[in-house]
Amino acid sequence: MKTDTQGNGAKLVSFQLTERSDIMAIITIPTQPFAGQRPGTSGLRKKVTVFQQPRYLENFVQALCDVLNGPDANGHPGRLLHGQTLVLGGDGRFHNRAAVQTILKLAAANGVARVLLGQGGILSTPAASAVIRRHQTFGGIILSASHNPGGPYGDFGIKYNAGNGGPANETLTEAVYARTQVLTQLCISDAADIDIDTLGMQQLEQMQVQVIDPVADYAAVMRSLFDFDLLRGMFKKGFTLRVDAMNAVGGPYARAILEAELGAPAGTVVNAVPLQDFGDLHPDPNPVNAEDLIAHMAASDAPDFGAAMDGDADRNMVVGRHFVVSPSDSLAVMTAHARLIPGYRSGLLGVARSMPTSAAVDRVAKALNLSCFETPTGWKFFGNLLDAGRVTLCGEESYGTGSSHVREKDGLWAILFWLSLQGATGKSVETLVREHWQTYGRNYYTRHDYEGIAVDVANTLMADLRVALPALPGRVFGQRTVSLADDFAYVDPVDGSVSKNQGIRLLFDDGARVIFRLSGTGTEGATLRLYLERYVADPARQNEPVQLALADLAAIAEQVAGIRVRTGMAGPSVAT
Ligand code: VG1
Ligand code: CO
Render pLDDT for 526-547 as a digit per residue (tens, 0 to 9): 999 999 999 999 999 999 999 9
What CA–CA distance (Å, rounded) separates 374 from 352? 6
62 pocket-lining for ligand 1 (C-beta < 6 Å):
no
Q: What is the pLDDT of residues 451-494, one digit of tens each?
A: 999 999 999 999 999 999 999 999 999 999 999 999 999 999 99
379 pocket-lining for ligand 1 (C-beta < 6 Å):
yes
In this structure, which ligand is nearest to the CA of 398? Answer: 1
398 pocket-lining for ligand 1 (C-beta < 6 Å):
yes
What value does the CA radius of gyration of the chain take, rounded to a whole number of Å? 24
> How far, in Å, from the CA of 378 to the mean position of ligand 1?
6
Residue 232's alpha-carbon distances to 257, 259, 260, 334, in angstroms, are 11, 10, 11, 21
Domain-ending residue, one of 440, 475, 499: 440
> How far, in Å, from the CA of 283 to the mean position of ligand 2?
9
> How far, in Å, from the CA of 466 to the mean position of ligand 2?
30
316 pocket-lining for ligand 1 (C-beta < 6 Å):
no
Pairing of strands 513-518, 504-508: antiparallel
Contact of 218 with 130, CB cutoff 8 Å: yes
Q: Inter-axis angle of helices 327-337 and 411-425, to 10 degrees?
A: 50
**Which residues have C-beta under 5 Å from ligand 2, the single-atom ion?**
146, 310, 312, 314-315
Would you state the pLDDT for residue 73? 84
When pLDDT is cut at 50, 70 and 90, the band that residue 16 belongs to is very low
Cα angle value 144/149/155 (rounded, 5°): 55
Nearest atom (ligand 1) to Cα of 377: 9
φ and ψ of 483, to 5 deg: -100, -25
Residues 209, 238 share a domain: no
φ and ψ of 113, to 5 deg: -90, -30
Residues 558, 497 share a domain: yes
> How far, in Å, from the CA of 527 to the mean position of ligand 1?
12
Supply the residue whose CA is at minimum distance from atom 5 of ligand 1: 378
Would you state the pLDDT for residue 13? 45
Would you state the pLDDT for residue 289? 92
Supply the residue whose CA is at minimum distance from atom 1 of ligand 1: 521
Residues 70, 138 share a domain: yes
Could you tell me if residue 499 is inside a domain? Answer: yes
Domain-ending residue, one of 181, 197, 214: 214
> How far, in Å, from the CA of 205 to the mean position of ligand 1?
37
In this structure, which ligand is nearest to the CA of 354? Answer: 1
Could you tell me if residue 6 is inside a domain? Answer: no
Supply the residue whose CA is at minimum distance from atom 13 of ligand 1: 519
Would you state the pLDDT for residue 222? 98
Query: Amino acid letter at 38?
Result: R
Could you tell me if residue 281 is inside a domain? Answer: yes
Catalytic status, residue 519: no
When pLDDT is cut at 50, 70 and 90, the band that residue 67 belongs to is very high
Contact of 85 with 113, CB cutoff 8 Å: yes
Domain-ending residue, one of 419, 440, 461: 440
Supply the residue whose CA is at minimum distance from atom 17 of ligand 1: 146
Question: Which among 289, 521, 530, 576 is the best mutation to test ligand 1's pocket, defined by most ligand atoms within 8 Å of the CB?
Answer: 521
Q: Write down the mean pLDDT value for the chain.
A: 95
In terms of residue numbers, what domain contains 133?
36-214
> How far, in Å, from the CA of 221 to the mean position of ligand 2?
19
Residues 195, 262 share a domain: no
Could you tell me if residue 449 is inside a domain? Answer: yes
Residues 181, 320 share a domain: no
Cα angle value 453/456/462 (rounded, 5°): 85
Residues 457, 430 share a domain: no
Residues 130, 185 share a domain: yes
Instruction: Look at the chain and report how many structural domains it folds into.
Output: 3
Would you state the pLDDT for residue 23? 63
End-to-end CA distance of the chain: 60
Could you tell me if residue 28 is inside a domain? Answer: no
Of residues 424 and 282, more confidence is placed in 424
CATH number of 269's domain: 3.40.120.10
Q: What is the pLDDT of residues 150-184, one digit of tens each?
A: 999 999 999 999 999 999 998 999 999 999 999 99
CATH number of 500's domain: 3.30.310.50
Residues 386, 450 share a domain: no
Residues 43, 138 share a domain: yes
Could you tell me if residue 9 is inside a domain? Answer: no
Residues 149, 85 share a domain: yes
Nearest atom (ligand 1) to Cα of 397: 9
323 pocket-lining for ligand 1 (C-beta < 6 Å):
no
What CA–CA distance (Å, rounded) separates 239 from 8? 63
Residues 397, 277 share a domain: yes
When pLDDT is cut at 50, 70 and 90, the band that residue 72 belongs to is confident
| Residue 2 burial (C-beta neighbours within 10 Å; 0-12, 13-18, 19+) | exposed
What CA–CA distance (Å, rounded) separates 146 from 95? 14
Supply the residue whose CA is at minimum distance from atom 18 of ligand 1: 146
Please say if the pLDDT value at position 12 is more than 90. Answer: no
Nearest atom (ligand 1) to Cα of 147: 19
Contact of 416 with 226, CB cutoff 8 Å: yes
> How far, in Å, from the CA of 200 to the mean position of ligand 1?
34
Of residues 370 and 281, more confidence is placed in 370
Residues 192, 74 share a domain: yes
Could you tell me if residue 407 is inside a domain? Answer: yes
The active-site residue out of 42, 124, 129, 146 is 146
Q: What is the pLDDT of residues 205-215, one digit of tens each?
A: 999 999 999 99
Q: What is the pLDDT of residues 387-415, one digit of tens each?
A: 999 999 999 999 999 999 999 999 999 99
520 pocket-lining for ligand 1 (C-beta < 6 Å):
yes
When pLDDT is cut at 50, 70 and 90, the band that residue 76 belongs to is confident
Could you tell me if residue 29 is inside a domain? Answer: no
